[in-house]
Chain A
Amino acid sequence: MEAVTETMVRLPALVPPPTDLPPRAAALRGEVRAFLAQERAAGAWTPRADVWLSGWDERFTRELGSRGWLGMTIPVEYGGHGASPLDRYVVTEELLAAGAPVAAHWVADRQIGPTLMRFGTEAQRQRFLPGIAKGEVYFGIGMSEPDAGSDLAAVRTRAVQVSGGWELTGTKVWTSGAHHAHAFFALARSAPRDEQNRHAGLSQFIVELDSPGVQIRPIPLLTGAHHFNEVVFDGVFVPDDMVLGEIGAGWRQVTSELAFERSGPERFLSTFPLLTALVGELLANGSTPHRELGGLVSRLWTLRRMSLAVAGSLESGEAPELAAAVVKDLGTRYENEVIDVARLLVATPPDPGAEGGYARLLADAVLHAPGFTLRGGTNEVLRGIVARGLGLR
């Protein structure tokens, strides 16, 4: 019995303590809601599911920039607003819950800004951060390759040192938004592979996507929509001042970049607009499946509290890797569950041709669902991280 007690004490904290939003958050939330109501009243866009992948709307993004709602955590001297990650949390969760088109700035705002603040040079910050905060500069993520998915360290894109910089040759895939974006961080092998230390010899480069030698080809999603791309480098020159961080430190940098990716509200709100429409549908039909609906609401509330706890702990300088993986595993499964419960409760079939409303939201949610549990590290890989945290591997 004593032994079990020891294990209990040694089990890691699976979730950080609860985080309360600062009192000023209420006013900020009110402003964002008022703006969204105004946009909706003007018919500027229709609420959609999975907007952070598919809702590319540069006008909307610039509107957010002009209101100070992009690059919020970037310091003022770089055009940002020096706000806390919790302020950014409030803004992003409101936008996602409303199904607003946030894809254009999503990557730049979520991870490029913070990563440049962490690893970028002064010149790189000056060059990109003000445009990110204005909603005028868009970024992609150049990690995955045909033979490097979950096993990211297997990337083969080669970076060879040449006079004044590096030459990149290789292929990136699944690059969301590369056909619109200005640049991305490419993870490449800058030193030959060492089987004893697979994570060594990797580096990150800021590649401007209009550089000579960059070819971008669409990879249509199963719906036929164009979000994914293949990005081919054929001897693309990257000057020394566009190396991100340190040569050889790519793995450490990428891992810290992924920390921003894992536990935010986008990991459980991709289908929230469908849940909202479901409530409308139930009211219209006069049906009262309280238990099933309540289950979705209590689980959502819990996920949000967990995600906020991780955000609060990130803000105090901790890196709760295990908790972040748990939020993403549970949250992305929850996004699928909303679809399952909606189908259980309402007989309306999905209609991909509808302008908006329940049938269209259901169609988009069903067709996008496979991506929820793959992007940003598959759920199986996340559970591997949790198992390591538990001391099992």
Chain B
Amino acid sequence: MNDPVNDSVNAELQELAESVFADARGAGTGFDAELWKTLDDTGLARLTLPGDAGGSEGTFSDAAVVLAAAGAHAARVPLVETDLLAGWLLHSAGIAVPAGPLTAVAGELEVAGTGVRGELRRVPWARAAAGVVVLTAGHVVLLGPERLTVTDGANLAEEPRDTAVVQGEVAPTAVAALPGGAAEEFRLRAAFGRAQLLAGAARGALAASVRYAGERVQFGRPIGRFQAVQQQLALAAAEVASASAAASAAAAAVTAGGFTAAASRFAVAAAKARTGEAAGAVARIAHQVHGAIGFTREHDLRLTTTRLWAWRDEDGSDAEWNAEIGAAALAAGPDGLWPMVTGSP
């Protein structure tokens, strides 16, 4: 049932998040330190972490609201990485969570006592992070920037996806055994966060397109008056609605059952798959409606559309997550399919 109390809490949070990210919106590149400071001050930077890890103890549905706003406004901060991934992983491994923006990656490091070596690829925001948390086959390792040699890399949206080389010793307090189930939860958390960002970016691209269709005049009237344009925008709106529904349903599932419940695993997989599929459709229509101006560097449409293209392939593409769901559906068989969809065995 719809819950009026939670709905109004969410509405307040949504307003706060909207205003914080909208103020910071801009076409710059690289880490937005000023925005990060605001997020830190408002408690949004570590929204879901427990109080003893410096967090605000929010729910995953709260996180969904904030991440959707971050995606819609193309925020240049490692929010998912800090809160949902690095902070959580450190805290569950019993390593103190450092201040500042963090990032996390699953990688193959050789760990021998406190000696660590290896190369980490496509680390989100590595160049800006106060700490890189690595999930290896058997350990959780926290690396400070001083331990890393970083080479810049980027995704389609020019967000940092860097290569980091490490060789040397870390403090004994920066290494711990990998908690059971953490590797799987890490994968789900990353996909969950990415799905929320995607849903937000899709909404952002739609909002820009609806606005543009009302302003751009051809043949003597705003192009949004043409039924062909209206039908395209309605199709985009349907994709955005479906992406948002999938992302928030996953958030509700995870809020209720954590990441380990079977229903949550299915919901996260389906949400990442659905938001990833919607991304391409929304970006295509947004660009078509914008005409040539949207295809330029000068125009801000690219901030959301390039993120849609980048993010749909990160943390498991729609094809990969759908493959997992398809394998589960075949394993469930004809009689198990409907119970799987309804989550009621």
Partners in one complex: yes
The distance from the CB of A73 to the nearest CB of chain B, in whole angstroms, is: 15
- A16 interfacial contact with B, CB 8 Å: yes
B1 x A1 contact (CB < 8 A): no
B341 x A300 contact (CB < 8 A): yes
A17-B10, A297-B337 given; A289·B326 CB < 8 A: yes
The distance from the CB of B21 to the nearest CB of chain A, in whole angstroms, is: 9
CB-CB under 8 A from B227, the residues of chain A are 384
A387 x B230 contact (CB < 8 A): yes
A292-B326, A297-B337 given; A3·B211 CB < 8 A: yes
Query: A146 vs B214: C-alpha distance in the bound complex, in angstroms?
Result: 36
Query: A383 vs B241: C-alpha distance in the bound complex, in angstroms?
Result: 13
A304-B342, A326-B241 given; A18·B248 CB < 8 A: yes
- B39 interfacial contact with A, CB 8 Å: no
Q: Which of B116-124, B154-162, B266-274 contacts A (4 or more CB under 8 A)?
A: B266-274
Of A294, A299, A313, the residue contacting B323 (CB under 8 A) is A294
Query: A106 vs B319: C-alpha distance in the bound complex, in angstroms?
Result: 37
Of A9, A15, A16, A276, the residue contacting B338 (CB under 8 A) is A276
The distance from the CB of A381 to the nearest CB of chain B, in whole angstroms, is: 11
A17-B248, A29-B344, A323-B241 given; A293·B326 CB < 8 A: yes
The distance from the CB of A332 to the nearest CB of chain B, in whole angstroms, is: 11
B234 x A387 contact (CB < 8 A): yes
- A5 interfacial contact with B, CB 8 Å: yes
- B72 interfacial contact with A, CB 8 Å: yes
- A46 interfacial contact with B, CB 8 Å: no
Task: Please give the number of chain B residues whose Cβ is less than 8 angstroms from any Cβ of chain A in the complex.
Answer: 73
Q: Which of A178-186, A217-225, A279-287 contacts B (4 or more CB under 8 A)?
A: A279-287
Q: Which of B86-94, B106-114, B173-181, B201-209 contacts A (4 or more CB under 8 A)?
A: B201-209
A291-B323, A300-B341, A329-B238 given; A9·B18 CB < 8 A: yes
Of B1, B237, B246, B318, the residue contacting A326 (CB under 8 A) is B237
CB-CB under 8 A from A277, the residues of chain B are 334
CB-CB under 8 A from A323, the residues of chain B are 241
A294-B327, A323-B241 given; A279·B333 CB < 8 A: yes
- A100 interfacial contact with B, CB 8 Å: no
B241 x A15 contact (CB < 8 A): yes
Q: Which residue of A lies closest to B255 (CB)?
A: A18
Q: Which of B201-248 contact A (CB under 8 A)?
A: 203-204, 206-208, 210-211, 213-214, 224-225, 227, 229-231, 233-235, 237-238, 240-242, 244-246, 248
B330 x A14 contact (CB < 8 A): no
A387 x B1 contact (CB < 8 A): no
Q: Which residue of A lies closest to B25 (CB)?
A: A1
- B2 interfacial contact with A, CB 8 Å: yes
Query: A393 vs B334: C-alpha distance in the bound complex, in angstroms?
Result: 45
CB-CB under 8 A from A304, the residues of chain B are 341-342
CB-CB under 8 A from A313, the residues of chain B are 2
| Binary interface encoding of chain A residues 276-319 relative to chain B, with 1 for a CB under 8 A from any of its CBs, else 0 | 11011011000011111111011111111110010011011000
- A386 interfacial contact with B, CB 8 Å: yes
A383 x B326 contact (CB < 8 A): no
A312 x B2 contact (CB < 8 A): yes
The distance from the CB of A287 to the nearest CB of chain B, in whole angstroms, is: 9
B321 x A294 contact (CB < 8 A): yes
- B152 interfacial contact with A, CB 8 Å: no
CB-CB under 8 A from A298, the residues of chain B are 246, 269-270, 273-274, 321-322, 325
| Binary interface encoding of chain A residues 218-256 relative to chain B, with 1 for a CB under 8 A from any of its CBs, else 0 | 000000000000000000000000000000000000000
- Most A CB contacts (10 A, CB to CB) among B237, B266, B274, B318 go to B237
Of B18, B234, B330, B333, the residue contacting A329 (CB under 8 A) is B234
B340 x A297 contact (CB < 8 A): yes
A7 x B7 contact (CB < 8 A): no
Task: Please give the number of chain A residues whose Cβ is less than 8 angstroms from any Cβ of chain B in the complex.
Answer: 68
Q: Which of A141-173 contact B (CB under 8 A)?
A: none
Query: A380 vs B228: C-alpha distance in the bound complex, in angstroms?
Result: 10
Q: Which residue of A lies closest to B72 (CB)?
A: A8
B207 x A86 contact (CB < 8 A): no
- A344 interfacial contact with B, CB 8 Å: no
- A19 interfacial contact with B, CB 8 Å: yes
CB-CB under 8 A from B225, the residues of chain A are 392-393
- B249 interfacial contact with A, CB 8 Å: yes
The distance from the CB of B29 to the nearest CB of chain A, in whole angstroms, is: 16
- A258 interfacial contact with B, CB 8 Å: no
A291 x B245 contact (CB < 8 A): no
The distance from the CB of A12 to the nearest CB of chain B, in whole angstroms, is: 9
| Binary interface encoding of chain B residues 76-107 relative to chain A, with 1 for a CB under 8 A from any of its CBs, else 0 | 00000000000000000000000000000000
- B22 interfacial contact with A, CB 8 Å: yes
- A330 interfacial contact with B, CB 8 Å: yes
The distance from the CB of A270 to the nearest CB of chain B, in whole angstroms, is: 15
- A354 interfacial contact with B, CB 8 Å: no
| Binary interface encoding of chain A residues 360-393 relative to chain B, with 1 for a CB under 8 A from any of its CBs, else 0 | 0000000000000000000010111011011111
B324 x A294 contact (CB < 8 A): yes
A291 x B322 contact (CB < 8 A): yes
Q: Which of B1-27 contact A (CB under 8 A)?
A: 1-4, 7, 10, 18, 22, 25-26
Of A17, A19, A275, the residue contacting B337 (CB under 8 A) is A275
The distance from the CB of A267 to the nearest CB of chain B, in whole angstroms, is: 13
Query: A29 vs B338: C-alpha distance in the bound complex, in angstroms?
Result: 12
A390 x B233 contact (CB < 8 A): yes
CB-CB under 8 A from A11, the residues of chain B are 203, 206-207, 210
CB-CB under 8 A from B214, the residues of chain A are 391-392
Q: Which residue of A lies closest to B320 (CB)?
A: A291
CB-CB under 8 A from A309, the residues of chain B are 245, 249
Question: Which A residues contact B (CB, under 8 angstroms)?
Answer: 1-5, 7-9, 11, 14-20, 22, 26, 29, 86, 93, 97, 272, 275-277, 279-280, 282-283, 288-295, 297-306, 309, 312-313, 315-316, 323, 326, 329-330, 380, 382-384, 386-387, 389-393
Given A86-B1, A306-B241, A390-B234, 5 more pairs with CB closer than 8 A: A97-B338, A280-B334, A297-B325, A297-B340, A390-B233
5 contacts between A and B (CB under 8 A): A4-B204, A7-B210, A294-B328, A295-B273, A393-B225
Enumerate the 8 nearest inter-chain pairs by beta-carbon distance, A residue then B residue, closest first.
A294-B326, A290-B326, A294-B322, A383-B234, A294-B325, A14-B241, A387-B230, A293-B326
